[in-house]
């Protein structure tokens, strides 16, 4: 058991690496977040953040779903302009999560609007892991 355990950990590490490996931009960003302290990106935690509601300073209730909707494979709608937002799920919209510049840009903007502050690296890593699975 003592001998096997490190192997299990190693295999788990390899497996999680393989999960991200199909998307260079996601791998790069996760590496950055991991280096900054987001040790284990957790898709379940990411899902919880996606669905969580926050109360803005103007009293409005905001969530990722306000514009993107609950189903990431469906299109969303900008809450104010009503402009169509293409699906977030890379499985139906391969453009998503394909550029690190866009990942950085939208995390900065949308965390500030939705939560009222920038997301922590742990939150970003978890959200990225969650969206990447869709």
Partner 1 sequence: MKGRNIVISSILVLSVASIPFVWSDDDSEEWQEYSRHSTGVAKITNPVYLQECGDCHMAYPAGLLPADAWQRVMNGLEDHFGDNAELDPSTRKQITDYLIANSADKSDYRRSQRFAKRDKKSNDNMRITETPYFRHEHNEILARLVITNKEVNSFSNCNSCHQKAEQASFKERDILIPGYGRWDD
Q: Which residues pair with 85 in a beta bridge?
A: 76
Closest CA to 31 of 105, 100, 108: 100
- What is the distance between the terminal CA atoms of the chain, rounded to a whole angstrom? 35
Q: Rule CB under 8 A: is residue 117 a binding residue for partner 1?
A: no
Q: How is 104-131 classified by DSSP, letter by letter? A: HHHHHHHHHHHTSSPPPHHHHHHHHHHH
Q: Rule CB under 8 A: is residue 113 a binding residue for partner 1?
A: yes
Number of residues that bind partner 1 (CB under 8 A): 12
Say how many C-beta atoms besides its own lie within 10 A of residue 13's C-beta.
10
Q: Rule CB under 8 A: is residue 99 a binding residue for partner 1?
A: no
Which of 52/78 has CB closer to partner 1?
A: 78
Q: Write down the least CB distance from residue 6 to partner 1, Å.
A: 43
Unique residue bearing structure tokens 């109360």: 55
Choosing from 21, 78, 91, 99, the residue that interacts with partner 1 (CB under 8 A) is 78
Q: Rule CB under 8 A: is residue 57 a binding residue for partner 1?
A: no
Distance of CA 68 to the CA centre of its chain: 13
Q: Rule CB under 8 A: is residue 100 a binding residue for partner 1?
A: no
Which 3 state secondary structure label does DSSP give 82? coil
Q: Write down the least CB distance from residue 79 to partner 1, Å.
A: 9
Choosing from 3, 18, 81, 117, the residue that interacts with partner 1 (CB under 8 A) is 81
Binding-site ranges for partner 1 (CB under 8 A): 58, 78, 80-83, 105, 108-110, 112-113
């Amino acid at each position: 058991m003592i001998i096997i355990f490190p192997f299990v950990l190693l295999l788990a590490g390899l497996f999680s690496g393989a999960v991200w490996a199909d998307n260079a931009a996601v791998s790069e960003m996760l590496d950055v977040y991991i280096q900054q302290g987001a040790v284990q990106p957790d898709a379940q935690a990411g899902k919880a953040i996606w669905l969580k509601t926050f109360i803005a300073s103007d009293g409005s209730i905001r969530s990722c779903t306000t514009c993107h909707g609950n189903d990431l494979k469906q299109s969303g709608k900008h809450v104010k302009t009503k402009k169509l937002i293409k699906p977030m799920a890379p499985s139906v919209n391969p453009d998503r999560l394909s550029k690190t510049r866009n990942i950085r840009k939208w995390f900065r903007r949308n965390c500030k609007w939705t939560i009222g502050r920038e997301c922590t690296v742990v939150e970003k890593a978890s959200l990225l892991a969650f969206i990447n699975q869709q």
